[in-house]
Each structure stands twice: as C-alpha cells, then as structure tokens.
Amino acid sequence: MVRRNFRHLDLDDFRLIYRTYIRPHIEYCIQAWSPHLVKDVEVLENVQRAATTLVPKLRKYSYPQRLKLLGITSLTDRRERGDMIEVYKLLTAKEKINPDQFFKLAQNHYGLRGHDKKIVKERSRLDIRKFFFSQRVVSKWNSLPASVVDAESVNGFKNAYDRFFSEDMDASS
C-alpha cells in the first residue's frame, strides 16, 4: 500500500509513514506472540528490510546501514526492548497486574550482584516453555545494571535502557 500510494519518499517522509503505517502492524502484541523460530523472525525482518528500500536514496546501502541512516533499530532489538519495558512495568506496579503471575523474585537479595529486582527462571519439563514471556526475559533482565532497573518512571527506564545499550554499542565498535 505504501509503495502504491507514496511515489517519492525522502528520509523524513519515510520515518513518519513507517512509524504510522508499517511498524504498528509488525509489532502488534509482540510481547505476547514474540516469534522464536528463525524463519518467523526473518519474515518480520524482511518486511522492514523491504520497507527501507522505499527511499530511493537508500537503496545502494546495506540493510544495517539503511537502519542506521533512518535512525531505526532492528525488530529483534525492538522486541527485546519492549520485553524489558514490560518487565519493568510489571515489577514496579505500573501495570495493574500481579507480577507473581509471571515472575518469582530472587529471595537472597544480599548475595546477588547488580540490582535487587532479579527474577528466577522457573524450571519446566516442556522445552517450548523457554520461549514464553516469563522465561525468555529472565537472563536479559537480570543482566541489566541497577542504574537502569531503578529508574523512577517508565520514560526514565526507556532512556536509561537506551543509554546503556548505546554506550555498549559504542564500546564494541
């Protein structure tokens, strides 16, 4: 639809159209049904890959370069960020849901490194359960520093999370 209705897109127009029409469809309820099979992840990423070629100036660049020039992240990174935001909201009572339905907090707060909101990964006999929201977020959440987890608000958490990973990316470059 976008290709049919918008013939000449520049970077700013694409960003607006992408955030308005494309990304909401790709990310709808993603925390509930997050894909874990490589083929499913690739299908979603291919939608974004194709969308980034709608800007004629960017066609000569590779997909990661197009993302960087557009100022957008890969869908995998957005899913992980969304998962962490949802965990934060659950554990800080920003959602009107009892977090005990999803997580068990680590009991021994004093023996833990990092922050005091660590969660425990439950054991399960079913291998597929490791892809459930309450299981797939544990390692990533527990690896976050206290400066991110102890944010005062959801926006504060988002900003601290983004800062932490942008510094991490800068260090690895």
What tokens appear for 146 in the block?
């206290």
Strand-strand pairing, 119-120 and 104-105: antiparallel
Confidence (pLDDT) at 170: 56
Model pLDDT for residues 16-30, shown as the tens digit of each residue: 999 998 888 888 887
What's the rounded Cα separation, in Å, for the pair 16 and 59? Answer: 18
Confidence (pLDDT) at 111: 55
Which of 61, 73, 107, 84 minimizes the C-alpha distance to 154?
Answer: 84
Please provide the average confidence, as pLDDT, over all residues in the chain: 84
What's the rounded Cα separation, in Å, for the pair 81 and 88? Answer: 11
Beta strand residue intervals within the chain, DSSP E = 104-105, 119-120
Spans of all domains in the chain: 2-72, 78-172
**Angle 29-147-71 from CA coordinates, rounded to 5°:** 50
Model pLDDT for residues 58-99, shown as the tens digit of each residue: 999 999 999 999 998 899 899 999 999 999 998 888 888 888
Full-prediction pTM beyond 0.85?
Answer: no
More confident residue, 43 or 29: 43
